[in-house]
Amino acid sequence: MKQKEEQVKLDEKIQNQGPATLKSNGCLSNLYKRFKPTKSPILVIFLLLIFGLVLIFVPYLMTTRSILALKYEQIGEIGDIISGTTMPFISFAGIMLTFLAFWIQYKANLELRRDIEIDRFASRYYELLKLHKENVSEMEIDGKYKGREVFKALHQELKFIYWLIENELNGMKEQGDVSRSSPQKILSIAYLIFYYGFETNKVNYVNAHLKNICSPNEEDKVVKELTRQYEKLRSAGRYVEGRVAEVKVGNLSERFLFRHSPFQGQMSRLGHYYRHLFQTVRFIDGISDERLNHEEKYGFAKTIRGQLSVFEQAMLYYNALSSIGAPWLKCENPLLTKYRLIKNMPPNLADFGPNPKDKFNVEIEEYKKISKNFFEFS
């Protein structure tokens, strides 16, 4: 119920964009305060008072007999003396006030430009956020899974394929056909099959990426063996929709119940979803530090993370570890870790493949130094 209420509030924000909406947002409210003039006029008032006192007392001081022993009353009218002695001060004050007026206008123009840029950023940001929500709501699998339920089904399918491939590679290793396979290598192969599918017309996509994972000899044997097993199991009807499939890896075994047919490939569903999610986070990260500092950028990215279910975060984790989602962990700018987009991922949803705590050990230790957790469930 609470989640639905939060979703309704987000919808209202997205639909009612404008100054009121922008200022109601925590991140944007801070930005408006940041660019709002905050300097007190006390200094200006103090300087004007000093200047006024100078104008009042300078004529008296300049017409006093004791000053330099000069008799000013003998060389002209008092008005000429006052005019002559105060004119430099008045001229200088005029120059300074003119400069101050231009400076204030310059600063006001900069603030106006910043406000316009923030408005444009916010408008685009909420538009991207709205599109993300629509992408999720439009996802479905054969009319049986819709919206966020899709990611739960996809997580089960990926896990099933991972276990199947791990079992097959272990068997090939015992026969001496392939070398020992790491969890990362198994996941890379499993995600390729999960993403592209393993039907006859899609094997070429898998082969193209396997060249970067396996040696040529391993690649041929892996593809041939997996193709043979896939066709054998398909013909036996073990992976037909609604059937229970059981996979054993060593002493472990797990049963999977499918309401959809696996191995069909999820590129048509996930390709657009991850491209848009990546572009949204990169849009936030691309704003210059002069406009948004890291904490403010993190606030906007945090709102996006709040829209991701735990299964979406788990699937994002596996996508980032695959060759297809490699840009998420790009060395020079790893957006996944920079904005902790999988902070809320429970450990039990990452119980196959590389261990997240081992994968992000450096990041976990860095956040410990500032008394923060990289993962919520650490």
What pLDDT score does 20 carry? 39
State mean pLDDT over 50-70: 61
245 - beta bridge partners? 256
pLDDT digit string, tens, across residues 2-38: 444 555 454 554 444 443 344 344 454 454 444 444 4
Q: Which two tokens stand for residue 121?
A: 């950023």
State mean pLDDT over 116-121: 86
pLDDT digit string, tens, across residues 207-244: 777 777 877 777 777 777 777 777 776 676 666 666 66
307, pLDDT greater than 50:
yes
What pLDDT score does 74 carry? 52
Long-range contacts of 18-27 (CB under 8 A, 24+ apart): 19/119, 21/122, 21/126, 22/118, 22/119, 22/122, 25/122, 26/299, 27/296, 27/299, 27/300, 27/303
298 - beta bridge partners? none
Classify strands 145-146 and 244-249 as parallel, antiparallel or unpaired. Answer: unpaired
Separation CA 152–CA 311 (nearest Å): 6
In the structure, what pLDDT confidence band is assigned to residue 149 with cuts at 50, 70 and 90?
very high
User: Phi, psi at residue 256, to the nearest 5°?
Assistant: -120, 130
User: Phi, psi at residue 112, to the nearest 5°?
Assistant: -65, -40
**Alpha helices in 63-148, H assignment, sequence order:** 78-138
What pLDDT score does 35 carry? 42
Q: Which two tokens stand for residue 220?
A: 């041929």
What pLDDT score does 36 carry? 46
User: Phi, psi at residue 249, to the nearest 5°?
Assistant: -130, 105
44-53, 71-80, 83-92, 365-374: range with lowest mean pLDDT: 71-80
What pLDDT score does 295 carry? 92
Q: At 140, is the secondary structure helix, strand, or coil?
A: strand
Structural contact between residues 321 and 353, judged by C-beta atoms closer than 8 angstroms = yes
What pLDDT score does 24 carry? 41
Separation CA 22–CA 28 (nearest Å): 6
- The region that residue 68 occupies, defined by phi over 0 for left and psi between -120 and 50 for alpha, beta otherwise, is left
Higher pLDDT, 194 or 230: 194
276, pLDDT greater than 70:
yes
Separation CA 190–CA 197 (nearest Å): 10
Higher pLDDT, 86 or 329: 329
What pLDDT score does 175 carry? 76
Count of positions (residues) in the chain = 378
What pLDDT score does 262 carry? 81
Long-range contacts of 145-149 (CB under 8 A, 24+ apart): 145/259, 145/260, 148/309, 148/311, 148/312
**CA neighbor of 114 nearest in space, from 37, 17, 44, 181:** 37
Contacts of 241 (CB under 8 A, 6+ apart): 142, 258, 259, 260, 261
253 - beta bridge partners? 248
Burial label for 241, CB within 10 Å (0-12, 13-18, 19+), is: exposed
Contacts of 329 (CB under 8 A, 6+ apart): 320, 321, 336, 337
**DSSP H or E run through 253:** strand 252-257
Return the number of other C-beta atoms located less than 10 Å from residue 42's C-beta: 8
